[in-house]
Amino acid sequence: MKQQKMNRDWIATARTLNEALPYMQRYTGAVVVVKFGGNAMGDDEAMAEFARDIVLMRQVGVNPVVVHGGGPMINDMLKRLNIESRFVRGKRVTDKATVEVVEMVLTGLVNKRIVQAIMDEGGRAVGLSGKDDDLIVCEADDPELGFVGRPTELNVQVLRDLFSAGIIPVVAPVATGTEATETYNVNGDTAAGAIAGALKADRLLLLTDVSGVKNAEGEVVTAMTPEDVRQMTSDGVIAGGMIPKTETALKAIEEGVRAVVILDGRVPNACLLELFTEHGAGSLIRS
């Protein structure tokens, strides 16, 4: 009985691979930017599973770029240091002491944890922040927010160089300013959107911990146009924490990204499900 079940599982695995071929062919050479938010990271097992999906993408010829967040990890460290956290319109008010902690946590702990997870799954990953090779240059987003950056200049050649070498870039959303020694804290979604736009990526996957964009009836909308998104926002159906994500999506599409998916990172193998099967796991936005 056990033997029979195992045979069936193998047959299903082989069939899955067989059915994935057209999707793999479609995405060969494609650039896929994946925003991996702090809330989607989970435990070591979830991290390993994510890393394996990214390594598999690379293995079948996709050029993935991981842009990560780490909001909850920054909150933990600020708490340990007795520094107060405050958010205005979804962005962290970032003074000098806070930006130091943000840089340490994102470019250190979080970035290296992801790099290590990818290496452990047999891929090659290199971690960098927006400061490396001036990948992301910012100006201050809003005086009320302190050292929060809005990307004004992207230099993505370093990412293309890493693609050619078969290396997966893992980007921490910390950026440099136009003045020497400035450091900016950039929202992870914003950084991922800006990078995807500059690369004219085939896909931007925004991994999050919700099931997608919901309509007035509370059902996930699996496909929509930028016009639908604008309508749903003005009707108040898209609200709260979803707004920065849909705004990022619209901007990225304007800059030439082919499609953006707001993807449920809690679904196992969400990235593979989205790219290599007919069955997505979130909301796809494209013109």
Q: Using CB under 6 A as the criterion, which residues of the chain lie in contact with ligand X2W when the complex forms?
A: 37-39, 69-71, 74, 91-92, 102, 148, 173, 185, 187-188
Q: Give the nearest distance from C-beta 15 to ligand X2W in angstroms.
A: 36
Cβ 105 to ligand X2W, closest distance in Å?
9
Phi, psi angles (nearest 5°) of residue 208? -140, -170
Query: Closer to ligand X2W at the Cβ: 151 or 280?
Result: 151
Residues 6+ apart with CB under 8 A from 40: 50, 207, 208, 209, 265, 266
Nearer to ligand X2W, 32 or 56 (CB): 32
- Residue 254 CB, nearest approach to ligand X2W (Å): 21
With b for 16 or more beta-carbon neighbours within 10 A and e for fewer, the 16-50 pattern comes to eeeeeeeebeebeebbbbbbbbbbbbeeeeebebb
CB-nearest residue to ligand X2W: 69
| CB of residue 141 to ligand X2W, shortest distance in Å | 8
| Nearest distance, CB of residue 66 and ligand X2W, angstroms | 12
Minimum distance between the CB of residue 185 and ligand X2W, rounded to whole angstroms?
5
Distance CA 140, CA 252 (A): 20
| Per-residue b or e along 240-275, where b marks 16 or more CB atoms closer than 10 Å to that residue's CB | eebebbbbbbbbbbebebbbbbbbbbbbeebbbbbb
Q: 146 vs 197, which CB is nearer to ligand X2W? A: 146
Comparing CB distances to ligand X2W, the nearer of 48 and 93 is 93
Residue 37 or 169: the one with the smaller Cβ distance to ligand X2W is 37
Give the nearer residue to ligand X2W in terms of CB position, either 185 or 283: 185
CA distances from 186 to 129, 175, 218 (A): 11, 7, 31
CB of 174 to ligand X2W, least distance (A): 8
Contact 258, 286 (CB under 8 A): yes
SS3 at position 183:
strand
Exposure letters 171-183 (e unless 16+ CB within 10 A, then b): bbbbbbbeeeebb
Q: How far is the CB of 81 from ligand X2W (least distance, A)?
A: 14
Give whichever of 58 and 91 is closer to ligand X2W, judged by the CB atom: 91
CA angle 87/88/94 to nearest 5° reads 60
φ, ψ at 111 (rounded to 5°): -60, -45
Q: Which is nearer to ligand X2W, 95 or 228 (CB)?
A: 95
